[in-house]
């Protein structure tokens, strides 16, 4: 089989998928030789796989401040969101959610016609008002927004589902969660591994057909080597997040200031209480797809469209809910190795790229 890899010179889309962390790569290669068997069986290879799976649960639990028996591994972050939220909502429940939740949350709720669903408004930074949540049986409130990085407040009353796919490992989980979901490829683990946390004693029930696996909260054969690699990456990211987060936060501050100097530009999201590694900005009179393509041709891999609706390049419901520009937006998210030189190179390219696109549009 022959293929040629084509890559941008500078990858700035880690909010979609972080490159595999070195800790995950090392563990994955080792675990492939020992974690291939079905951990439900009784023979020695299966017992080895079960030990690896239990170890992965323990590592994730310690990294997130949970118990080992509260941790499950799913086939993806989306699967963890669907299982976590739907399993928390009983028949006929009222579910309140922020207007800026990921599309995985919105699709899950739309799949359940028995639920009464309420969308909560957000302010210009994309944050809900914790004093104005209204009545609910279940509250779905992301830890931090996938598109603009704004961190949501801690809410500890009642049944709370936290979509932490964008933030898990990068910042501590908000207090008061009943169920939470994460996605390994967002923190440098392998793709195809989600994390589902169900707090002990919470009335969660599997919303899909049961499967007689080791873990009753999930279905199918866990990818044991990938789960262990995901756990290793999470452990490493949590250990280094203070140093990496501070450095990334400063780089994003630098980017926010530089982009603001471009005429007719809006930088969105909370400038301080946010995820450290990402920022979104919108350019008036600019097509987002054209901007992504132009930057890619210059060696910069960035995202546009709606990061919270599967990158469909449709107008962003997140930005619309915030009252921000919904077109001509770019999301930049930094790798753990990103430098000031990387940011400065992007800032040097952006004014010319934006000016060229506006000129082609006759503006």
Residue 310 pLDDT > 60: no
Residue 273: CATH number of its domain: 3.90.1150.10
Same-domain check for residues 71 and 57: yes
Q: What is the pLDDT of residue 7?
A: 52
Q: What is the mean pLDDT of residues 124-136?
A: 95
Q: Which comes out higher in pLDDT, residue 39 or 86?
A: 86
β-bridge mates for residue 157, sequence order: none
Mean pLDDT of 102-124: 97
Same domain, 40 and 115: yes
The pLDDT, as a whole number, for residue 229 is 98
**Residue 85 belongs to some domain of the structure:** yes
Task: Pick the range with the lowest mean pLDDT from 305-309, 329-333, 356-360.
Answer: 305-309
Residue 245 resides in a domain? yes
Q: Where in the sequence is the domain holding 201, given as residue range(s)?
A: 22-237
* Mean pLDDT in residue range 178-184: 98
User: Distance (Å, rounded) from C-alpha 226 to C-alpha 224?
Assistant: 5
- In this structure, the answer to whether residues 73 and 217 fall within a common structural domain is yes
3-state secondary structure of 304: strand
Residue 10 lies in a domain: no
Domain co-membership, 147 together with 296:
no
Residue 307: the pLDDT is 42
From 237, 261, 296, the end of a domain falls on: 237
CATH number of domain containing 43? 3.40.640.10
| 135 belongs to a structural domain | yes
* Same domain for 247 and 209: no
Q: What is the mean pLDDT of the chain?
A: 93
Q: Which stretch of 18-22, 167-171, 306-310 has the lowest confidence by average pLDDT?
A: 306-310
Say if 1 falls within a structural domain.
Answer: no
| Percentage of the chain lying above the pLDDT 90 cut | 82
105 and 162 share one domain: yes
Average of per-residue pLDDT across 260-279: 96
For position 306, what pLDDT does the model report?
47
Q: Which of 211, 237, 263 is the last residue of a domain?
A: 237
Mean pLDDT, residues 184-208 taken together: 97
Do 187 and 278 sit in the same domain of this protein?
no
In a domain, 9, yes or no: no
Classify residue 275: in a domain, yes or no.
yes
What is the DSSP track for 147-176?
TT-BBPPP--SSEEEEE-TTTBTTBPPPTT
How high is the pLDDT of residue 305? 61
pLDDT (mean) for 206-218: 88
Residues 125 and 249 in one domain: no
By three-state DSSP, how is residue 179 classified? strand
307 with 206, same domain? no
Last residue of a domain, one of 219, 237, 255: 237
pLDDT above 70 covers a percentage of the chain that reads 95
Tell me: pLDDT of 280 over 60: yes
User: Any idea which of 37-46, 128-137, 239-248, 344-353 has the lowest mean pLDDT?
Assistant: 37-46
What distance lies between CA 84 and its chain's CA centroid?
15
Same-domain status, 209 and 291: no
Residue 313 has a pLDDT of 54
pLDDT: is 72 or 313 the higher one?
Answer: 72
Specify whether 232 is located in the same domain as 292: no
Q: Would residue 165 show up in a list of annotated catalytic residues for this protein?
A: no
Q: What is the mean pLDDT of residues 43-67?
A: 95
Work out the pLDDT band at 1, boundaries 50, 70, 90.
low
Domains contained in the chain, number: 2
Confidence check: pLDDT of 215 > 90: no
Q: Mean pLDDT across the stretch 33-51?
A: 91
Q: How many CB atoms lie within 10 A of CB 262?
A: 17
Cβ count within 10 A of residue 345: 16
Q: Does a structural domain hold residue 8?
A: no
Say if CB 194 and CB 77 are below 8 A apart: yes
**pTM across the whole model:** 0.93
What is the token pair recorded at 218?
């999930």
The catalytic residue among 100, 236, 308, 346 is 308
Q: Given this model, what pLDDT does residue 137 score?
A: 97
- Whether residues 233 and 157 share a domain: the answer is yes
């Amino acid at each position: 089989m022959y293929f040629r890899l084509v890559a941008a010179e500078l990858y700035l889309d880690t909010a979609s998928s972080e490159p595999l962390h070195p800790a995950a790569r090392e563990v994955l290669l080792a675990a492939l030789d020992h974690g291939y068997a079905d951990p439900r069986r009784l023979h020695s290879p299966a017992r080895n796989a079960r030990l690896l799976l239990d170890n992965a649960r323990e590592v994730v639990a310690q990294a997130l401040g949970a118990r080992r028996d509260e941790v499950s591994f799913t086939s993806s972050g989306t699967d963890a969101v669907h299982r976590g939220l739907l399993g928390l909502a009983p028949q006929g429940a009222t579910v309140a959610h922020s207007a800026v939740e990921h599309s995985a949350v919105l699709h899950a709720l739309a799949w359940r016609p028995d639920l009464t669903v309420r969308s909560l408004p957000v302010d210009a930074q994309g944050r809900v008002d914790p004093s104005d949540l209204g009545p609910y049986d279940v509250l779905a409130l992301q830890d931090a927004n996938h598109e603009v990085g704004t961190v949501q407040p801690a809410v500890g009353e009642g049944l709370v589902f936290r979509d932490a796919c964008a933030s898990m490992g990068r910042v501590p989980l908000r207090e008061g969660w009943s169920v939470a979901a994460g996605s390994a490829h967002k923190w440098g683990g392998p793709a195809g591994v989600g994390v589902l946390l169900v707090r002990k004693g919470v009335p969660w029930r599997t919303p899909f057909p049961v499967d007689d696996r080791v873990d009753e909260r999930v279905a199918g054969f866990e990818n044991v080597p990938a789960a262990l690699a995901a756990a290793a990456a999470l452990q490493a990211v949590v250990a280094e997040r203070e140093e990496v987060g501070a450095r990334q936060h400063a780089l994003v501050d630098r980017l926010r200031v530089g982009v603001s100097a471009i005429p007719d530009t809006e930088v969105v999201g909370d400038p301080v209480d946010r995820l450290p590694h990402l920022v979104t900005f919108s350019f008036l009179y600019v097509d987002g797809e054209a901007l992504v393509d132009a930057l890619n041709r210059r060696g910069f891999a960035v995202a546009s469209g709606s990061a919270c609706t599967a990158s469909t390049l449709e107008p962003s419901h997140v930005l619309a809910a915030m009252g921000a520009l919904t077109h001509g937006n770019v999301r930049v998210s930094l790798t753990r190795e990103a430098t000031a030189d990387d940011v400065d190179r992007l800032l040097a390219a952006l004014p010319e790229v934006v000016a060229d696109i506006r000129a082609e549009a006759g503006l």
